[in-house]
Amino acid sequence: MNSGSWLNPLLEKRCSGTEGCGIFAKADIRKGERLAIFGGRIMAIDDMYGIPAHMQRFTMQIEERFVLGPVSDIPEDTDFFNHSCSPNSGFSGQVFLVAMRDIGAGEEITFDYGMTVSESVGSDMVFSMNCACGSSLCRGTITEDDWKLPEIQDRYRGYFSPYIQEKIDRMNGGPLGTMVGKDTIIPEDKEAGSPV
Ligand SMILES: [Zn+2]
C-alpha cells in the first residue's frame, strides 16, 4: 500500500553498496521547485515504538508530539532523502520539500534533519544521529536541539517546518507573524466559552 507521497518525476532513488540509497536529480532543477510532498500516517511520537524497527527511521516529525509515519512495512522513494549539514532543499510547510537553490543534474537531494526535529515534550523519544556528510559545516552530531543554534536559524530561515519556526520566533523574543493571532485568539475563545 502506498501512502500517497509524491516525488517530482525529475528525481529518482539511486542505491549503491557503499553509500546506501538517496534521492538524486535526473535533470537541472530551479530554486523554489517543489521536490516532494510527504504523505503517511499521523502518529503520536510514542507510537513509533509500535512500528517495525526497520521502519522507525522513515518517520518525519511534523509537530512537537506528532510524526508522519509509514502506512506499511515497505518504504517509499520519498523515505530516502538523506540528511546533509549543507543541504540543497528545505521545507515549505510541514510536508512540502522545495529546492533552496538551483540544483544540477546528478546532484543528491538532501535536507537538514534539524529543519524538522525537536524535543518532544512529555516523551522519552530522543533524536540524535552521527553525521559524516563531508560538508565543511558538518555538525558531527545531529540532535533535536540543533534548531536552537543561531547560525542554523539564520541559514534555514523560511525553510524550517512551521512548528519549529514558531518555536524559534518564541525563543527570540516572542510572538511574530501568525503567533500573534494564536496567542491572542486562544485566551479570547476560552473567555467567550466560560460561564458568566
Ligand atoms: Zn554533517
Measured over the CA atoms of residue 84, residue 49, residue 144 and residue 98, the dihedral's sign is positive
Mean pLDDT across the chain, nearest whole number? 88
Determine the Cα–Cα distance for residues 127 and 142; give it in Å rounded to an integer: 8
Judged on CB neighbours under 10 Å (0-12, 13-18, 19+), 196 is exposed
Instruction: Assign 19 a pLDDT band (cuts: 50, 70, 90).
Output: confident
Rounded to the nearest whole angstrom, what is the distance from the C-alpha of residue 112 to the centroid of ligand 1? 9
* Residue 155 Cα to ligand 1 middle (Å): 15
CA of 142 from ligand 1 middle (Å) equals 8
| Set of cell numbers at residue 28 | 537541472
Query: What fold characterizes domain 6-193?
Result: Beta-clip-like (2.170.270)
The CA angle 6-168-56, to the nearest 5 degrees, is 40
The vertex-135 CA angle with 129 and 141, nearest 5°, equals 20
Distance 190 CA to ligand 1 centre (A): 45
Provide the residue ranges of all domains of the chain, joining segments of one domain with +.
Answer: 6-193
Q: How far is the CA of 20 from the centre of ligand 1 (A)?
A: 16
Residue whose entry in the numeric block shows the C-alpha cell 514558531: 166
pTM for this prediction: 0.85
pLDDT, tens digit (0-9, with 9 covering 90-100), for 115-168: 999 998 888 888 999 999 999 999 999 999 999 999 999 999 999 999 999 999
pLDDT tens digits, 71-82: 888 899 999 999
